[in-house]
C-alpha cells in the first residue's frame, strides 16, 4: 500500500496541474508535503484523499470527450481542407 505521493505524481492523481497544486498549497487549501528524509518530501496519500473528498460537488456536467485528435500548430484540420 502506497503511503506517499511524489510531487510529480500529484497532477495525475488529482487531475490538477503542478502549478495549480503549488498555488493551493501557498493558499493553505491543499495538504503540505511532509519531510521524509533530508531534502526528500512526499504528500501523505491519506491527506490527499481526504482533501479530494472535501471538495464540493459540482452541478456542472463534465465536458464531452469527442476523442478527436487536435491538429498540431500550423496544420489545417482534415475537415477544413479545400478540395484540390
Total count of domains within the chain: 1
Whether residue 19 is contained in a domain is answered as yes
- Look at the pTM and tell me if it is higher than 0.85: no
Q: Give 63's pLDDT tier (boundaries 50, 70, 90).
A: confident
Whether residue 84 lies inside any domain: the answer is: no
Mean pLDDT to the nearest integer, 60-73? 73
Over 90: is that where the pLDDT of 75 sits? no
Range of the domain at 41: 4-54
Residue 40 within any structural domain of the chain? yes
Name which residue leads in pLDDT, 36 or 70: 36
In a domain, 37, yes or no: yes
Tell me the DSSP string of 16-77: --HHHHHHHHHTT-SPPPEEEETTEEEEEHHHHHHHHHHSPPPSSPPPP---PPPPPTTPPP
pLDDT at 39 over 80: yes
Is there a domain that residue 82 lies in? no
Amino acid at each position: 500500500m502506497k503511503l506517499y505521493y511524489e510531487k510529480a505524481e500529484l497532477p495525475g492523481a488529482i487531475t490538477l496541474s503542478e502549478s495549480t497544486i503549488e498555488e493551493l498549497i501557498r493558499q493553505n487549501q491543499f495538504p503540505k508535503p511532509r519531510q521524509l528524509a533530508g531534502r526528500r518530501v512526499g504528500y501523505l496519500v491519506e491527506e490527499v484523499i481526504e482533501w479530494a473528498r472535501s471538495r464540493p460537488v459540482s452541478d456542472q456536467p463534465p465536458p464531452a470527450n469527442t476523442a478527436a485528435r487536435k491538429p498540431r500548430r500550423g496544420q489545417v484540420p482534415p475537415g477544413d481542407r479545400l478540395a484540390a
